[in-house]
Amino acid sequence: MQFCDLTRQYKTYKAEIDEAIQSVIDTSGFINGKEINLLENELAEYTGVAHAICCSSGTDALLLALMALDLQPGDEVICPAFSFFSSASMISLLKGKPVFVDVSPIDYNIDVAKIEEKISSKTKGIIAVSLFGQCADFDAINEIANTHGLWVVEDAAQSFGATYKGRKSCSLTRIAVTSFFPAKPLGCYGDGGAVFTSDENLAQKVKLLRSHGQVERYQHQLIGINGRMDTIQAAILRVKMKHFETELYTRQLAAGLYAKLLNGHVFLPEVRDYNTSTWAQYTIGLQNRNVVREELQKKGIPTSVHYPAPLPRQQAFSDLPSYDESFEVSELLSETVLSLPMHGLITKEEVEEVANAIISVTAEAQRREGRIEPQRRKE
């Protein structure tokens, strides 16, 4: 069994994908080929923003967004203590200062009630992550930001396709970013990402910054990066976009089945009633996570830990004052979370196999540790 079965996905769409790749090669449109523009229009329409701008990765999308927002050395940016590294590292790369806020134990997203106490005169914005495919509470976050004159970025690397109060992820803030890393809900065959905004000025600036700040060939208005998406990746993504809603539906069904089967055995992920999740990860909570993980591995069931440490504990952030601060929920999550196999073509039988293995492994582990007396079976 695969954690995220990209081979099955390729085999399912093989004819379409092969044709899409070949057409880019046939026309040598490797850089800025027509598929980039076509994909950008499709992404903008799907999310309901004025501009989607394809780029080289989710990390570069964050970098481009922060550069377009004119982040300066010393500027503070609020971000969650529990996420993937680049949600915070791009702030540091621009010599800004990540100011970490603990996350909610319900949805694992930034704890809105803890944001305001971290705002200082140097705070310029908030990066809120929509973790595991579920949007953070952006109405509340935008309201805090408006009160304090801050911008908000949605890191939607895991939530492209999710909805929040009926609106699409990537359209909920002034500027949003996503990733098309192969294992994300919508993934390409390498690195890729996109920036989303309905702000004309920001959109133009991101486009410039993506290509060396170049207004015309060899005329550079700004210091930018080489942050373009390869045309081949856009061509692949356009094929996968056609099947994306079906895959999201399969993920919903799988998540529903996991919840039904695992109810009462583990801590289940919770989705707020105003949200729909993309289930980028189906992440459960377990007290004896490491033991269970090893036993599942022996049964041929791959799992993953997102993430084994809160961001402020990373060595790369050890010079920040937050290194010694306590982030209770993030710490608890990093010790207990376990992500289960989940992808857009997972079968009912696979979900059942994983759930049954977890039920037997957790029961066995608890028996051994003597935490819970085993239930006597009715003979």
Ligand X SMILES: *Cc1c(COP(=O)(O)O)cnc(C)c1O
Residue nearer to ligand X on the CB measure, 67 or 292: 67
The least CB distance from residue 164 to ligand X, in Å, is 16
Whether 292 and 365 have beta carbons less than 8 Å apart is answered as: yes
Integer CA distances (angstroms), 258 to 152, 319, 337, in order: 33, 41, 15
Among 129, 172, 203, 358, contact with ligand X (rule: CB under 6 A): 129
Give the residue at shortest CB distance from ligand X: 58
The one among 142, 158, 173, 322 contacting ligand X by CB under 6 A: 158
Tokens at residue 270, please?
């919770």
d(CA 359, CA 153): 39
Find residue 340's DSSP bridge partners. 282
Shortest Cβ 259–ligand X spacing (Å)? 22
CA atoms within 13 A on the CB side of 185: 30
Cβ 153 to ligand X shortest distance, Å: 11
Q: Which stretch binds ligand X (CB under 6 A): 6-14, 52-60, 97-105, 320-328?
A: 52-60
DSSP H helices in 211-278: 231-262
Tell me which of 33, 58, 80, 96 binds ligand X, using CB under 6 A: 58
Instruction: Tokens for 66, please give them.
Output: 């922060």
Please report the DSSP string for 15-32 in residue order.
HHHHHHHHHHHHHT-TBT
Strand partners, 282: 340
Q: Please pick, from the candidates 179, 197, 330, 336, the single residue that binds ligand X as defined by CB under 6 A.
A: 179
Residue with tokens 């999310």: 47
Smallest separation (angstroms) from ligand X to the CB of 131: 7
Task: State the minimum distance, in angstroms, from the CB of residue 151 to ligand X.
Answer: 17
Specify the residue, 176 or 255, whose C-beta has the smaller distance to ligand X: 176
Query: Interface residues for ligand X in 269-308 (CB under 6 A)?
Result: none
Check binding of 191 to ligand X (CB under 6 A). yes
155 binds ligand X (CB under 6 A): yes
How near is the Cβ of 103 to ligand X at its closest, in Å? 12
Any idea what the Cα angle at residue 155 is, between residues 151 and 160, rounded to 5°?
Answer: 125
Binding mask 75-114 for ligand X (x = CB under 6 A): --------xx-xx---------------------------
- What number of chain residues touch ligand X (CB under 6 A)? 15
Q: Does 330 bind ligand X (CB under 6 A)?
A: no
In the chain, DSSP assigns E strands to 51-55, 76-80, 97-101, 123-129, 151-155, 163-164, 167-168, 175-179, 193-197, 214-216, 219-220, 275-276, 282-285, 337-340
Residues that bind ligand X (CB under 6 A): 57-59, 83-84, 86-87, 129, 155, 157-158, 179, 181, 191, 193
